[in-house]
Amino acid sequence: MIRRLSTKLLNVCVSSLCKSRNLDKAEAVIIDGIRLGCLPDVVTYNTLIDAYCHLVGVDEAYVILYRMREAGVRPDVITYNSLIAGATRCCLPSRSLDLFEEMLQAGLVPDDWSYNTLMHCLFKCGYPEDAYKIYLDMLSKNVAPSLTTYNTLINGMCKTGNAMNGLRLFRNLKRLGFSAELVTYNTIINGLCKSGRIGEARRILKELGESDCVPNEITYTTVMKCCFRNGRFEQGFEIFSGMMNKGYTSDVFAYCAAISALIKMGNLEDANACVEQMLRNGIGLDKACYNTIIYLQCKEGKIDYAFQLVNEMEEAGLGSDQYTYSILIDGLCRMGYIDSANKQLHMMEMRGFLSNLVAYNCLIDGLCKLGEVDLALKLFHEMKSKDDYTYTSIVNGLCQKSRFHAASKLLLNCLKEGSSVLTSTHRAVIAGLQSAGFRRDAKRLKASLRVASLLRY
């Protein structure tokens, strides 16, 4: 009895230390406990494993699992659920599946939580068909799906391009014995907004208003962003003001969305005022928010201040990411500082941010705008992947230098590779060829473009 009570006390201590992100102290307390004869139990280890998954990584958490086994404490379903959730956060689907298998091998029976997490992992990492198989497996093993199971399915469907299936499932919830909760509403509204089904999203929003659920800051920012995405700025800002009036004054997502919209509108003065208001409200800036403010400074040409903010962000322990670098590279190119932009690109690669298509595009565009189209072409040929932005910049750059035949050739290559450029760029190439006296070539290009659009290559 005394031992049980003291283990309970040990667990309270470990839990509290883990919550305050003090993993070293939590481990020290466990060691002290063992020395005093108070042995950690499955709850102690589960607490530690979950904290390691959240704060360090799934590999480090797995080390605790070894120690747990060595200490003669048998892992349970909760242990594995935490580990699967950890693998999900890092988008490691094979790892999640292996852990699930390991759980079965250990003779444990996965619960709805295990299935939900595994399904979420597979959706998140781009394997919707496998996620559906897990759902069927869940049913075949007579594990009752919960509302979270359906929320996860609706979310997964929306995020993998099947918002209408998500909506069908949403409509079937009652038949399955559930009524939608706020998470369900927010999930489907976001899915419908993102897939352009604004009318459907509005209908669900109306239903949410008539339900017992109370919209929260997530609902408001979801709808607000939908308005901004569709160019309905006035409506979006009405929602933002409404949010503020309702007391949602400390939501970093809402401020970031509003600041980004103001930048897009070219209203840098109000964007700055919004930043000030956010800071006055004592909102702690996160990485995305810093990036938005850095973007604002770049737009204003305050590149030194932008770099100062990057330092501030790194000193705050947030670290910069591929977005930070792309924003800086774009800002430097706009100011004509191509060498510095190049330096940032190398730093970006050295730091392992390899998805830098946007950064390359900024450089290519910057070089073209400075008339350095040959340097831009050199970079273009070095690029492993290209998109519509790449081709549009380079084709425009060639047109500016009156190299219409090269532009025409690239334009056709672009269509063959499944990319497309703006129709204004098509027109620029055709008009260029015509004005340079190559009327037959212009006619031929026009015909090829028409065929390409019919074949949709």
Q: Which is nearer to DNA, 38 or 78 (CB)?
A: 78
455 Cα distance to chain centroid? 33
CB 1, min distance to DNA, A: 31
Interaction residues for DNA, span 214-233 (CB under 7 A): 216-222, 225
Q: Does 422 bind DNA (CB under 7 A)?
A: yes
Piece of 17-25, 202-210, 265-273, 357-365 that binds DNA (CB under 7 A): 357-365
Interaction residues for DNA, span 7-46 (CB under 7 A): none
Give 86-131 as a DSSP string.
HHHHTT-HHHHHHHHHHHHHTT----HHHHHHHHHHHHHTT-HHHH
Q: Which two tokens stand for residue 313?
A: 């962000």
Q: Does 82 bind DNA (CB under 7 A)?
A: yes
Among 6, 7, 16, 146, binds DNA (CB under 7 A): 146
Q: Does 326 bind DNA (CB under 7 A)?
A: yes
Sketch the per residue contact string, 402 through 421, with DNA: x for CB under 7 A, - otherwise: -------------------x
Q: Does 321 bind DNA (CB under 7 A)?
A: yes
Q: How far is CA 312 from CA 119, 244, 307, 345, 348, in A?
A: 39, 28, 9, 20, 18
Q: Does 169 bind DNA (CB under 7 A)?
A: no
Q: How far apart are the C-alpha atoms of 27 and 18, rounded to whole Å?
A: 9
CB 34, min distance to DNA, A: 27
Q: How far is CA 107 from CA 41, 75, 101, 103, 439, in A?
A: 19, 11, 10, 7, 76
Residue 251 exposure: Cα atoms within 13 Å on the Cβ side: 20
Taking alpha carbons only, the member of 7, 56, 2, 72 closest to residue 33 is 7
Piece of 149-157, 168-176, 202-210, 336-344 that binds DNA (CB under 7 A): 149-157
Interaction residues for DNA, span 108-127 (CB under 7 A): 112-113, 116-117, 120
CB 214, min distance to DNA, A: 11
Q: How far is CA 268 from CA 96, 254, 436, in A?
A: 45, 17, 41
CB 338, min distance to DNA, A: 15
Q: Cβ distance 13 to 29 under 8 Å? A: yes
Interaction residues for DNA, span 240-259 (CB under 7 A): 251-254, 256-257
